[in-house]
């Protein structure tokens, strides 16, 4: 069975390379998102006002501060989002930076693997085309030789003209 797929694989561009400024941009973007959302906060809850206020007081003593988010004073559901102390935020941001770095590395590795796969397919396709051309040329050469043998076996047909 012959392969009718005539689409030639063409590689365009090059795999992405590590760019420290791109890594820095991504880390800053995630850091900003961390600082502007509830990720930098911890929820403090209490069923009764005294327990809630004591929990808030304990967290404030540990370096937490009030956030921009509203405090819920619903009966039996007192809660507040408190911003983590800077030391805890630094640990969180370091973790985020490592995750962003790992994600960026995985993205670059995937890009390189894709280009390697495409190159392998391109080289395989080129080799298959060379072999197909060589086989076709050999077949044509064999056919020409056999036609010559056939022609040599029989004398030309002589037909009288009327």
List, for residues 97-132, the tens digit of each pLDDT value: 999 999 999 999 999 999 999 999 999 999 999 999
In a domain, 12, yes or no: no
Q: What is the DSSP string of 29-88?
A: HHHHHHHHSGGGEEEEEESSHHHHHHHHHHHHHTT-EE-SSPPEEETTEEEEEEEPPHHH
Which residues, in sequence order, are bridge partners of residue 65?
A: 83
Q: What integer pLDDT is reported at residue 6 of this predicted model?
A: 63
In a domain, 111, yes or no: yes
Q: Which domain holds residue 37?
A: 27-129
Q: What is the mean pLDDT of residues 6-29?
A: 90
Residue 16 DSSP SS3 = coil
Torsion of Cα atoms, 75 then 77 then 55 then 69, to 10°:
-110
In a domain, 159, yes or no: no
In a domain, 112, yes or no: yes
In a domain, 1, yes or no: no
Percent of the chain with pLDDT over 90: 80
**Helix, strand and coil in the chain, % to nearest 5:** 60, 10, 25
In a domain, 160, yes or no: no
CA 76 to chain centre: 47
Which residues, in sequence order, are bridge partners of residue 77?
A: 74
In this predicted structure, the answer to whether residue 9 has a pLDDT above a threshold of 80 is: yes
In a domain, 139, yes or no: no
Q: What integer pLDDT is reported at residue 10 of this predicted model?
A: 85
> Is the entire prediction scored with pTM above 0.75?
no
- Tens of pLDDT, residues 18-67: 999 999 999 999 999 999 999 999 999 999 999 999 999 999 999 999 99
Domains identified in the chain, total number: 1
């Amino acid at each position: 069975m012959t392969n009718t797929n005539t689409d030639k694989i063409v590689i365009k561009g090059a795999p992405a390379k590590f760019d420290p400024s791109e890594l820095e941009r991504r880390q800053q973007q995630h850091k900003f998102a961390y600082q502007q959302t509830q990720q930098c906060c911890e929820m403090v809850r209490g069923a009764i006002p005294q327990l809630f206020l004591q929990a808030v007081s304990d967290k404030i003593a540990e370096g937490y501060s009030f956030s921009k988010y509203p405090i819920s004073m619903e009966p039996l559901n007192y809660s507040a989002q408190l911003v983590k102390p800077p030391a805890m935020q630094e640990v969180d941001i370091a973790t985020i930076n490592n995750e962003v770095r790992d994600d960026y590395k995985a993205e670059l590795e995937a890009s390189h693997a894709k280009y390697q796969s495409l190159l392998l397919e391109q080289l395989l396709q080129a080799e298959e085309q060379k072999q197909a051309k060589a086989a076709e040329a050999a077949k044509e050469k064999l056919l020409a030789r056999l036609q010559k043998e056939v022609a040599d076996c029989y004398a030309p047909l002589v037909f009288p003209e009327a």
